[in-house]
């Protein structure tokens, strides 16, 4: 792969794409809404997408909505299959409880699919999002269904690695572990030894038990949907009630589950390099420290030997913002003609040389 800093002409090209979406009033949306979407369902708040090709890597679409007086960002997040923090992060300065009527808000619906096989359940912890690939029917395209989720907070980490669904239960009873009961007791909120089905059950109406942690981890619903998309659970994966109700009957016992930690994702499509960044899990939503080394490694894998012009300043901005919105940060290009005394044009310019890092 040959890379170099984005030259003036290419910078203008990116700027023109960004200007087309300037009405969003959000700088991270440059080169987003005007791009062609890949094989996405046309329904505004759909979460199921058919992949036109097995190696497709981007699904969904970004859009805008105009608020009415009764809207909250939490309601809109649930309506458009987003976590509450996703909706708040891409609409800075908007009161999440009282945004007011007539506000144009961004709804970030595009996603770069996580790396790895398109099979079973994949949960990307920094993204706070679950992807499910049903077993494809003969002659039918690969499908992916995606939902926002909550994950474990700092002291109750959701485990990483590959596991599987070992059992499923409708209307589960919750038996709080001793460690959880101790935590609540210390906070002045003692818990009973068990909590049966009903509105007080934090597992909601559906639960799928994982083999990880000797069966102590679950994918389940919630009686507190406003917290979906946050790092607030005791290690389990929590979903909106309607989402888990839709997913539950689709999941056979034995389904594989991959729990991954990929705060930065890239995709190389039709000569454009897409970047999607999320806050690291252990940062609890705090400022994202740009990791150019990680980005560079992913870039190399994505584009191979293609010559790419990288807009490094913009890539840094996207990494620092880490709001999950996909941005175009590079374009396929030819290397500038080298002076006669310079090295041959076939010499590879490495990312470190291009960035000075």
Q: Which amino acids are annotated catalytic?
A: 220, 236
Closest by CA position to 131, among listed 108, 111, 151, 150: 111
**Contact (CB, 8 A) for 163 and 211:** yes
Helices (H), 8-141: 8-19, 73-79, 84-89
**Contact (CB, 8 A) for 289 and 322:** no
Closest by CA position to 271, among listed 313, 315, 307: 307
**Contact (CB, 8 A) for 151 and 281:** yes
Closest by CA position to 232, among listed 281, 187, 179: 281
- DSSP letter for 263, please: S
List Cβ neighbours of 242 (8 Å cut-off, separation of 6 or more): none
Distances (CA, A) of 249 to 61, 119, 140, 323, 335: 27, 17, 20, 32, 53
288, two tokens: 């994202």
């Amino acid at each position: 792969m040959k890379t170099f800093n984005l030259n003036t002409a290419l910078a203008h090209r990116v700027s023109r794409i960004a200007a087309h979406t300037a009405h969003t009033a959000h700088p991270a949306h440059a080169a987003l809404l005007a791009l062609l979407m890949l094989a996405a369902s046309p329904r505004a708040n759909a979460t199921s997408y058919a992949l036109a090709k097995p190696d497709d890597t981007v699904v969904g679409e970004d859009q805008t909505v105009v608020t009415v007086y009764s809207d909250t960002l939490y309601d809109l997040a649930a309506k458009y299959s987003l976590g509450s923090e996703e909706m708040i992060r891409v609409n800075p300065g908007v009161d999440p409880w009282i945004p007011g009527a007539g506000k144009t808000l961004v709804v970030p619906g595009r996603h770069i699919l996580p790396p790895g096989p398109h099979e079973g359940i994949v949960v990307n912890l920094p993204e706070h999002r679950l992807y499910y690939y049903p077993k494809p029917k003969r002659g039918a395209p690969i499908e992916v269904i995606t939902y926002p989720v909550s994950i474990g907070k700092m002291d109750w980490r959701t485990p990483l690695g590959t596991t599987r669904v070992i059992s499923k239960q409708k209307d589960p009873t919750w038996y709080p572990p001793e460690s959880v009961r101790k935590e609540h007791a210390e906070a002045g909120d003692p818990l009973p030894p068990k909590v049966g089905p009903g509105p007080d059950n934090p597992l909601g109406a559906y639960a799928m038990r994982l083999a990880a942690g000797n069966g102590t981890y679950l994918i389940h619903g919630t009686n507190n949907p406003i917290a979906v998309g946050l790092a607030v659970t005791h290690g389990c994966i929590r979903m909106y009630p309607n989402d888990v109700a839709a997913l539950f009957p689709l999941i056979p016992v034995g389904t594989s589950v991959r729990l991954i930690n990929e705060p930065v994702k890239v995709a190389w499509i039709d000569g454009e390099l897409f970047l999607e960044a999320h806050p690291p899990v252990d940062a609890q939503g705090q400022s994202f420290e740009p990791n150019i080394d990680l980005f560079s490694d992913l870039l190399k894998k994505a584009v191979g030997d293609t010559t790419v012009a990288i807009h490094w300043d913009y890539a840094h901005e996207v990494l620092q913002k880490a709001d999950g919105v996909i941005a175009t940060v590079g374009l396929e290009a030819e290397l500038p003609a080298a002076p006669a005394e310079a090295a041959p044009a076939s010499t590879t310019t490495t990312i470190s040389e291009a960035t000075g890092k």
